[in-house]
Amino acid sequence: MTEKSTFVGAVDTGEWEPFEAGEIKTLRAVPDTPYLSGVWRVTPEQAPEPQDVHMHADETVYIVEGHVTVEVDGEVLELRAGSFAAFKKGSSTRWTVREPTLEFFVYS
């Protein structure tokens, strides 16, 4: 089977999938690999407590809107609209949702 060469999505249409906190919309997933890209949306009500996340793949994020705090390796990152961050596979992180947030992510 030949993989598609173009992937297009829209945040305001289609179905969202439940996630550990909030929900995601997948843009592209490559079977049998960690490669996944899409958007995650979450509100403080959906994640009222900090979420401990162990990175099972490298992850790069771009915050489209909102605010999350991420603790990783003793560092505290305040990610707001316009922020980029990258996390290495194996990192242990703690995410706190401060405002309703929309994030574009790529697992690789």
Of residues 76 and 14, more confidence is placed in: 76
Residue 12 is predicted with a pLDDT of 75
Based on DSSP, count helices (H) and strands (E) in the chain, helices before strands: 0, 8
pLDDT tens per residue, range 15-54: 899 998 999 999 988 888 889 999 999 999 999 999 999 9
Residue 8 is predicted with a pLDDT of 74
In the structure encoding, which two tokens stand for residue 25, read together? 């919309």
Q: Structural domains in the chain?
A: 19-107 (2.60.120.10)
Cα 77 to Cα 66: distance, rounded to the nearest angstrom: 14
Cα 69 to Cα 13: distance, rounded to the nearest angstrom: 28
Cα 78 to Cα 73: distance, rounded to the nearest angstrom: 14
pLDDT tens per residue, range 62-106: 999 999 999 998 999 999 999 999 999 999 999 999 999 999 999
Query: Residue 11 in contact with residue 74, Cβ under 8 Å?
Result: no
> The whole model's pTM is what?
0.87
Cα 92 to Cα 101: distance, rounded to the nearest angstrom: 21
Residue 47 is predicted with a pLDDT of 96
Placement of tokens 């560092």 in the chain: 75
Q: How sure is the predictor about 3, in pLDDT bands with cuts at 50, 70 and 90?
A: low
Has residue 1 got a pLDDT over 60? no
